[in-house]
Amino acid sequence: MLGAPGAGKGTQAARLAEAFGLVHISTGDIFRANLSQGTPLGRKAQEYMDRGDLVPDDVTVAMVKDRLGAADVARGFILDGFPRTLPQAEALDRVLAERDSRVDCAVYLKVPDAVLVDRLTGRRVCPSCGANYHARSHPPKREGVCDVCGAALTVRPDDREATVKKRLAVFHQSTAPLIDYYRDRGALLKADGEGSVDAVTGFVVSALKQRSRHD
């Protein structure tokens, strides 16, 4: 899944994993899990994440390589938020080539920056069950309280406005070149990420089914 912060990569990756029976691998989620467990990897990643920068390529690639070594990925997987730089994309190609595999499709969710700033600065997350809300467009029934498990909702530290703007700048500089990288090899599927969550899922699922019929 390719797209700027807040484009809906996590939301759509979870739905696509369900629809196609794939494993959902989010590098952001793995970093956050390490952070909350206080591991050396989490401590290393935190300073970069808090200021909206990318975690260095060598750290990220080693982590993904390790995750792709697990048995469950044999049924196929969706990478959410990886690769995010050209060196990461090239490293991924090498890792997959070693297994006679390749990236079948890079799904790019396109959303204007102004919409992304609103989505992220309004996002509220449940630290306990992971449910996701938006202060205005998808508020919980009781302000600040998770509908699912009743825990107090929090704001992700990197969703504060100044950090969101930094993350967007990093996307345009370091990640956007991957759009051409995958387009040039005929692997890009571009989707309008501004529609409703259901509309985006519907478009991507049917486009992926169509592609697999032509493979």
Catalytic residues: 9, 84, 123, 156, 167
What is the C-alpha separation between 97 and 115, in angstroms, rounded?
Answer: 37
What is the C-alpha separation between 80 and 24, in angstroms, rounded?
Answer: 7
- Asked if 31 touches ligand AP5 (CB under 6 A), the answer is yes
- Cβ proximity of 2 and 182 under 8 Å: yes
Nearest approach, Cβ of residue 147 and ligand AP5 (Å): 13
Tokens of 105: 């499709």
Maximum CA extent, the chain: 51
Residue selected from 82, 108, 181, 182 as contacting ligand AP5 according to rule CB under 6 A:
82
Site for ligand AP5 in 90-129 (CB under 6 A): 119-120, 123
Tokens of 201: 């899922």
Give 135 or 187: the residue with its C-beta nearer to ligand AP5.
135
Site for ligand AP5 in 192-211 (CB under 6 A): 196-197, 200
Q: What are phi and psi of 120, to 5 degrees?
A: -80, -40
What is the C-alpha separation between 95 and 99, in angstroms, rounded?
Answer: 7
Give 32 or 213: the residue with its C-beta nearer to ligand AP5.
32
Nearest approach, Cβ of residue 105 and ligand AP5 (Å): 17
- Cβ proximity of 189 and 211 under 8 Å: yes
Nearest approach, Cβ of residue 99 and ligand AP5 (Å): 20
Nearest approach, Cβ of residue 148 and ligand AP5 (Å): 14
Q: Which residues, including other chains, have CB under 8 Å from residue 63's CB and lie 6 or more apart?
A: 27, 30, 31, 41
- Asked if 27 touches ligand AP5 (CB under 6 A), the answer is yes
Which residues make up the interface to ligand AP5 (CB under 6 A)? Answer: 3, 5-11, 27-28, 31, 48-49, 52-55, 60, 81-82, 84, 88, 119-120, 123, 132, 134, 158, 167, 196-197, 200
